[in-house]
């Protein structure tokens, strides 16, 4: 029996495995090796589980191991792959087993950045990447911590800080950049900073963590920041992730940005025979600049898993290939309490780094007709290319219903539209939902003026 072996049982791995099991004849066995005990779960939902908005870990699981097995997948949880032998075409597990493969899919995900600082391995210093990590945070909260320090203010850091605030815990956020959420422009980051402080968070920006103080039992008691020790009974690291690609690299597979495995548009690994990779462990392509980047998100992982399944099945069955993964425009959304934050495309510095000549405009507008009750406000920042007038990026910070406005801009970016095109888009209007000019069109009109109509 020919084996398709998938390493990793979350979004990319299980979407590939499930689609392959449906499409391939029984002569092909689909084996999945998963180091943990959960499959097909939403890591993005962990902060909301910690906050109490989600009742249990089970609510974050889209499909359990038992359900996958019932569908005919040989899913082996608690089984970590420790080596890939491309010449022998075998995967070795931690238990010493060697599993032969005709096709290999690497979907090992990402791992949290954990800096090499004094005391970093102390008890009570936690990352948040999988459901086990989420349970560890909840277990720590059972000890009634009085001071929580969140290191980093990216998406995870921001969302975890909100979770602790919701629980009434004194929370400090330490960020080395001048403003939180550095993936958005500094002017918008200041709005986020004001919202955080308004909720009682002690925000330390432009601050470097130098180490962690531990008691005699090895439990964290403080975080050293620029020579000052901040009290901490619990520390959560929100410093981002890198590709979990060491297994692939040790096997000789090529890696690129942040260790992401290099693949083509069909998710085939460069220079490797019948080896595919997908999800947070791979490098992808920015559609605006055509440059490689590492962007770990479940949305992309699921799509890449679909592409892998299509290409593997096409290869094995001799059928035409239908799908490719075209890259990303870096769309993302989050919130802090009532403040919604979203972005797509390039920021000003990203555009400059790509050799473009950006024009940046920022406008204040409402989320519906201003005369409607409970009309909210938002700030929209737009980046355009001076020479081509092409839309390069858009960012939104505002009240309820502001964040998803970014999706129209993401579509415009994908289509390569100019700001003039965006002004003329036929977008929905009625007073309860929008002003006559959509917020992204208000920003596009400002860009047209800045560029010279």
Rounded CA-CA distance 361/441 in Å is: 12
Catalytic residue among 29, 42, 44, 102: 44
Rounded CA-CA distance 330/346 in Å is: 8
Rounded CA-CA distance 190/209 in Å is: 21
Q: Which residues 6+ apart lie within 8 Å of 432 measured at CB?
A: 368, 369, 372
Contact criterion met (CB below 8 Å) for 8 and 39? no
In angstroms, the Cα distances linking 319 to 5, 22, 314, 421 are: 21, 15, 5, 39
337 is catalytic: no
Contact criterion met (CB below 8 Å) for 112 and 127? yes
Contact criterion met (CB below 8 Å) for 145 and 169? yes
Contact criterion met (CB below 8 Å) for 130 and 256? no
Q: How far apart are the first and last CA of the chain?
A: 66
Contact criterion met (CB below 8 Å) for 238 and 151? yes
β-pair type (28-34, 2-7): parallel
Rounded CA-CA distance 422/403 in Å is: 18
**HEC assignment per residue over 81-148:** EEEEECCCCEEEECCCCEEECCEEEECCCEEECCCCCCCCCCECEEECCCHHHHHHHHHHHCCCCCEE
Rounded CA-CA distance 392/359 in Å is: 9
DSSP H or E segment with residue 205: strand 202-205
Instruction: Indicate the length of the chain as a whole number.
Output: 453
Q: ∠32-33-35 over CA atoms, to 5°? A: 140
Query: Active-site residue numbers?
Result: 44
């Amino acid at each position: 029996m020919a084996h398709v072996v998938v390493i990793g049982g979350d979004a990319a791995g299980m979407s590939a495995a499930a689609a392959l099991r449906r499409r391939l004849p029984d002569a092909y066995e689909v084996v999945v090796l998963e180091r943990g005990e959960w499959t097909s779960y939403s890591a993005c939902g962990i902060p909301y589980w910690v906050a109490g908005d989600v009742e249990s870990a089970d609510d974050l699981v889209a499909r359990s191991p038992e359900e996958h097995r019932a569908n005919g997948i040989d899913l082996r949880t608690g089984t970590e792959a420790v080596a890939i032998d491309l010449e022998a075409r075998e995967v070795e597990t931690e238990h010493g087993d060697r599993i032969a493969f005709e096709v290999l899919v690497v979907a090992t995900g990402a791992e949290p950045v954990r800096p090499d600082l004094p005391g970093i391995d102390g008890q009570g210093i936690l990352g948040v990447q999988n459901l086990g990590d989420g349970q560890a945070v909840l277990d720590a909260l059972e000890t009634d911590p009085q001071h929580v320090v969140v290191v980093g203010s990216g998406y995870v850091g921001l969302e975890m800080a909100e979770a602790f605030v919701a629980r009434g815990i004194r929370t400090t956020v330490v960020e080395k950049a001048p403003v939180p959420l550095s993936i958005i422009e500094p002017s918008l980051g200041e709005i986020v900073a004001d919202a955080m402080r308004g909720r009682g968070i002690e925000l330390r920006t432009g601050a470097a963590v130098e180490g962690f103080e531990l008691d005699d039992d090895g439990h964290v008691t403080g975080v050293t920041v620029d020579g000052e020790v901040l009290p901490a009974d619990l520390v959560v690291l929100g410093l981002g992730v890198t590709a979990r690609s060491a297994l692939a690299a040790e096997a000789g597979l090529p890696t690129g940005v942040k260790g992401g495995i290099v693949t083509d548009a069909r998710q085939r690994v460069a220079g490797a025979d019948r080896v595919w990779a997908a999800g947070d462990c791979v490098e992808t392509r920015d559609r605006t600049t055509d440059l490689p980047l590492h962007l770990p998100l479940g949305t992309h992982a699921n799509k890449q898993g679909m592409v892998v399944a299509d290409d593997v099945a096409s290869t094995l069955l001799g059928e035409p290939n239908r799908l490719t993964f075209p890259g990303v425009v870096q769309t993302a959304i989050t919130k802090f309490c009532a403040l919604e934050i979203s972005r797509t495309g390039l920021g000003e510095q990203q555009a400059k780094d790509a050799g473009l000549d950006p024009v940046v405009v920022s406008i204040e507008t409402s989320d519906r007709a201003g005369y409607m009750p409970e009309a909210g406000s938002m700030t929209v920042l737009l980046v355009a290319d001076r020479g081509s007038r092409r839309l390069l990026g858009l960012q939104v910070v505002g009240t309820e219903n502001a964040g998803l406005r970014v999706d129209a801009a993401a579509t415009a970016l994908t289509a390569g539209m100019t700001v003039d095109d965006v002004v003329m888009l036929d977008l929905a209007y009625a007073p309860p939902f929008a002003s006559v000019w959509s917020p992204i069109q208000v920003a596009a009109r400002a860009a047209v003026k800045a560029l010279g109509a």
